[in-house]
A and B are shown apart, each in its own frame.
Chain A
Amino acid sequence: MAQTVQSAATTATTETQPDVELRQVFKTFGADTAVRQLDLVVQPGEFFSILGPSGCGKTTTLRLIAGFETPSAGEVLIQGTSVSTVPAHRRPVNTVFQSYALFDHMTVKDNIAFGLKIRRLGTAQVRDRVAEALRLVRMETMANRYPAQLSGGQQQRVALARALVNRPAVMLLDEPLGALDQKLRKQMQVELANLHRQLGITFILVTHDQEEALSLSGRIAVMNNGQIEQIGTPSDIYDRPRTPFVADFIGDTNLLPGRVDQTYPAQVQVTTESGLRVLAQSTQSPRPTVQNVVVSVRPEKINLSLSAPGSGGNCYQGQVSHLMYLGTHLHCVVRLSSGEALTVRQPNRAEGAITVDTPVYVHWTADDCLVLNAA
């Protein structure tokens, strides 16, 4: 599914206008800047996620699109029209709130019919569309219940149905699965993906759960401190992070700060503060030497062996200082003789014999680590 969405998005850039566009948007609350200089383009039909830690401005961004906040500077466009001064009730978007915000004095059916009745649709049409929405979220039997009589997952479905029954141009989802337990969340993720495919509407999802963003989205914007750090496909974000923050926030990584002292085509040699020399791939144009950089190595890309491996790549000696048995994996911390501590994730194979204090070699190829500009 992710592939079709991506290709749809890439063709869309050339043909149609974007569904949502933010241009140089700022939002300040008193002395605090929640969102600064935000540029964002979401194409029709995309499943777009805004990912970041709490307080990074992702919910404010969503509220700017929904119309609950007005930008302090910049412009918000929906389907090519500037909506910066258009109130929420006249925007063609619908929101699924983190708290669900269901109307507890109305039944499930009336909650879902609310938007349709406001738009004065005929009784028969309202009934049909509510029934269709109930079917989509598989809540047909709950139509006459009150929200207080539903479980968290059921309330979540009603909130979804209440938004999508209006057939909005864009669905905005604010941490919609945040209040659900792990198992239910996984299940609802699948349902969200199915709904998106069936309806073909643009989804914008705000989440702090990187796994959720990676598994659902066509594209992800990673936010930090009110700014976008990187926008890209899940594999762009995970395999080719552009900043140390993105590398660290998405998945686990080892960050080794240092300076560039040799530049090769597509590779650089970095000397870390402790004197470790690391060869890393460089996705950016040739760097001037002595630039402050950070080398990022994912724990699962590091190999661990008891004897010295063959030549090539990066190889260092060290000692296992921590060992955690995780069933499918071993999670070790290896302290190098130069002083750095590296997190290493090893598949649980029966070659055994690794315990705390075992002297080991860690090695990885230059292609398995990235050099990033220091923040």
Chain B
Amino acid sequence: MTPVPSPLRPWADRFAPRRWLGPVALLGPGGVWLLLLLVLPTLLILEISLVPGLRLGQPSGGYGLGNYLQILQPVYLRVIGRSLAFALGSTVLCLLLGFPVAYWLALMSPQRWRNLLLVGFILPLWTSSLLRAYAWAAILRPSGVLNTILTAVGLPTQNWLNTPTAVFIGLTYSFLPYMVLILYASLEKLDTRLLEAAADLGATPSQGFWKITVPQTLPGIAAGCLLVFISTLGDFVVPTLLGGASSMNISRLIYNQFLGPTRAWGFGSALSMVLILAVSLAIALLLRYGDKRSVSET
């Protein structure tokens, strides 16, 4: 019996007897890529992280959890705490700044200009993040653009470069376009008739916003926040170029273990595993609680 050809699977009749060939052909190339460049290296890092005190070029002892215990030292916990603070802070800032913009773009901006406005918003993403960080350094320098303007209007100058403030500014600036894009996609699908229905039932515009708009776009809000959180948690360029010595975060710490003078690969790998775990946890939480409706329907 010949199976009915499906428009989704044009190769189906040719390989009909061996049904596994289709999925393998589709997943194979990407799978091999991921296996070689993601799964294997991660496993390698996991192994290295389990060798206490491993340093490049030195003989190593057996396996153990020493590297992980080292993380628990207050000095390193402070670094992790600071990384979380950078990530959480810039995520909240991106949401607060991005939501009104996405709302205006999706629901209020003139239809014919909408795509152009969107492109304008994404445009900064087309330049290198390194260049943009350098540009911010030029703006925030003691004798930079910001202080020139502040002096001109008679305000006290600010010395923000190489402080956590500069890191928040840089991270928020870098990831705001992603937040706006994701929120825009979500708000654009908002059924505005639901807002009319809410008003019809007596809800003021602000009640309609909190009871309808926000819950309806919650999956988008969660996705946007998660993306920004993950990206900022592991960001290296902005804290390095704008944060200075006072803004050591986890990715800079990892960098120092691998390429700094100590060459403590074991400790660096343990830190990497913690970062990977934190990010995976965030994704798992999103999948589980991100979209209430899809959860309740299953």
Contact = CB atoms under 8 A, between A and B. Distances in A.
Contacts of B297: 146, 148-149
A88 interface: yes
Interface stretch (B87-95, B134-142, B197-205, B228-236): B197-205
Given A146-B297, A148-B297, A166 B193 contact: no
B5 to A, nearest CB: 33
Given A105-B292, A148-B297, A118 B193 contact: no
Q: Interface residue tally of chain B, by bracket?
A: 20 to 34
A97 interface: yes
A68 B196 contact: yes
Interface in A112-162: 114-115, 118-119, 146, 148-149, 162
A193 B220 CA distance: 42
Contacts of B200: 66-68, 88-89, 93-95, 163
A101 B201 contact: no
Interface in B157-210: 191, 193-194, 196-205, 207
Nearest to B208: A89
A104 B293 contact: yes
Given A97-B193, A101-B193, A146 B201 contact: no
Interface in B199-250: 199-205, 207, 211-212, 215-216, 218
B215 A114 contact: no
Contacts, number: 67
A146 B202 CA distance: 22
Contacts of B203: 89, 114, 118
Nearest to B214: A105
Nearest to B196: A68
Contacts of A148: 293, 297
B296 interface: yes
Interface string A164-202: 001000000000000000000000000000000000000
19 contacts: A68-B196, A68-B199, A87-B199, A88-B200, A89-B202, A94-B200, A95-B196, A101-B193, A101-B197, A102-B197, A103-B197, A103-B198, A105-B218, A105-B293, A118-B201, A118-B202, A149-B297, A162-B201, A166-B201
Given A68-B199, A95-B197, A101-B197, 11 more contacts: A67-B200, A68-B200, A87-B199, A93-B200, A103-B198, A105-B215, A114-B211, A118-B202, A118-B203, A119-B202, A148-B297
Interface of B: 191, 193-194, 196-205, 207, 211-212, 215-216, 218, 292-293, 296-297
